[in-house]
Structure 1
Amino acid sequence: MACCEKCWGDAWLRSQSNREPQYENYTRLIEERKFSPCSPKESAGQFWDEEKGVDSRRLADKSK
């Protein structure tokens, strides 16, 4: 499963203020957002393919 780009970015911002490692903030954010998750487009971030309307990382996984 690919990382949620929005949560990863938000975790980095939190780590700048609370000095905890980014991965710990990321894990916490995923748990906090479990019942209200990010959209597929938010999760893909820069990897969103507007033309196909999908996360391009998933397309790369299927080609293997």
Structure 2
Amino acid sequence: MKLRGLEELAELIQRVEANPRGKSAREIARILNDRNGATPTGKPWSAMTVIRARDRLAAAA
């Protein structure tokens, strides 16, 4: 599943972060990879890509 656009990215991260407390970027990346949620470029998630995605979403808000 390749994501397209910030809206899909926001939705995917929100589902994973239903309870964001206690979840590190590394843990969120693992969950996203387990769910076959590729990054917008089609690559696996890493902690840094989760952090960058959060920053992009915060800037767009």
Q: Greater share of strand residues, 1 or 2? A: 1
Higher relative contact order (CA 8 A, sep 6+): 2
